[in-house]
Amino acid sequence: MSAIGLWHPVYDRSLAWVGVSLDTDTSIFVPQNFFDQMSSEALAVDGVDGKLFFVGADVLGACKQPLKLPFSPSRLVAVLSEHFLSAEAGMAIFRAWHGKNVRLAVTGLSVPSGLSRDMVAMHVFDAATVCKSFSEKALLDASRSGTKLFVHGIGSMELFEWCAQTGFSYFTFGRLDAPEYGVQSRDSSRLPLMRLLSMVAANADAATMEEVFKLDPKLAFELLRLVNSASFGIRKEITSFAQAIMVLGRRQLQRWLQLLMFAHRKEGDDSPNILMQRAAERGRIMELLSQEGNEKADREQAFMVGVFSVLDILMATPLAELLGSVSLPQPVKQALLEREGRLSTLLDLVCATEQRDFAGVQRLLSDLGIAPDTLSRFQLDAIFWALKVAGTK
């Protein structure tokens, strides 16, 4: 089996992007040049300058020693596993890294035998067990001592807020928890967006769509602001909705509406918008993966499946109920509602990467005919594209 590297964006307490985390299956042999290849791909992406790299010590230990980094050592956080620290050779490498100003992290609150507490810059926790295994007081005490706390695999904003209040500094998100339908009130602010998406899919004329924009001042403002932004490079200001629709084109209009579903909020709602990031990330990687492997799929349909796959979490409403009001291509409905077809398999792969399910990722890559390094490269592309779209960069 080939080594698989999975990338995840790392956030701080304000959900600003501060770095990336590289995860690997330590039960599989990691080649000597693995980290060099992975870090080179990451550094080639616009926006990574100055960010932190969280990497397992087993991956770094496979590199030729002494470790030669393509960036400042202080940007690297080496997460030390028990397996790595149990070997005397690993301890020698550990001390060398510490002497080179690499930040060193251990799992849990305890400091392994043979290490001094001042050598440990960070403690790492799994979101699935952090609440059950550690008291709030112990975590707060650790954070107040000067070491940073990092939790990976957050599944809900409730857990994120608890961790942020308990002294954690760094976070990654895993599988987002499904909502309890009916617990919160329905948000009707997205209904015009659903109506417009249905119109675009049905090839409605611009005049019909224009009427919907006229009835929603906030949506109309967002549309005009988008087409008059510097990114479109239009010298003459666009002042009519019909012009705006024509400038965007139906493909871009559809994408913008899909992502706006996650940016559109109730008045007074200023909570962090991690769903916008996740929807954009899924849409982008699904689009890229659709053109790879032993069978191709439609790019736009793949993007739509990725974005809409978290719509039920956003609106606390069953997906079947939401999609019943929108005209969608059959392969999209088949993937989202029946979990059948190639688009569904691609979505399963994306979900497995988010959950760090290496066995599932390995199996799905084989089924789809996609190389592990292709997945890693597309993950990076999707992460940085989504960060830009969501305004997190």
What the block records as the tokens of 278 is 């996740």
Does the pTM of the predicted model rise above 0.85?
no
- Tell whether 159 and 202 lie within a shared domain: no
Residue 180 lies in a domain: no
What the block records as the tokens of 71 is 């960036």
- Tell whether 106 and 140 lie within a shared domain: yes
CATH code of the domain containing 28: 3.20.20.450
What the block records as the tokens of 132 is 């059950």
- Tell whether 162 and 241 lie within a shared domain: no
Range of the domain at 109: 5-173
Q: What is the pLDDT of residue 393?
A: 52
- Tell whether 338 and 254 lie within a shared domain: no
Q: Which residues of the chain have pLDDT under 50?
A: 183-185, 266-268, 271
- Tell whether 150 and 26 lie within a shared domain: yes
Angstrom distance (rounded) from CA 10 to CA 26: 21
Domain count, the chain: 3
- Tell whether 66 and 89 lie within a shared domain: yes
CA separation, residue 82 to residues 131, 200, 389 (Å): 22, 54, 39
Residue 183 lies in a domain: no
Residue 269 lies in a domain: no
Q: What is the pLDDT of residue 185?
A: 44
Residue 95 lies in a domain: yes
What the block records as the tokens of 95 is 């001390």
Q: How far apart are the first and last CA of the chain?
A: 35
- Tell whether 220 and 328 lie within a shared domain: no
Q: What is the pLDDT of residue 253?
A: 81
Angstrom distance (rounded) from CA 211 to CA 138: 58
Residue 307 lies in a domain: yes
- Tell whether 63 and 123 lie within a shared domain: yes
Q: What is the pLDDT of residue 391?
A: 59
Q: What is the DSSP string of 11-62?
A: E-TT--EEEEEEEE-TTS---TTHHHHHHHHHHTSTT-TT-EEEEEHHHHHT
Residue 179 lies in a domain: no
Write the pLDDT tens digit of every residue in 62-98. Answer: 888 888 888 999 999 999 887 777 766 777 888 889 8
Residue 11 lies in a domain: yes
Residue where a domain stops, chosen among 234, 263, 292: 263
- Tell whether 247 and 157 lie within a shared domain: no
- Tell whether 197 and 160 lie within a shared domain: no
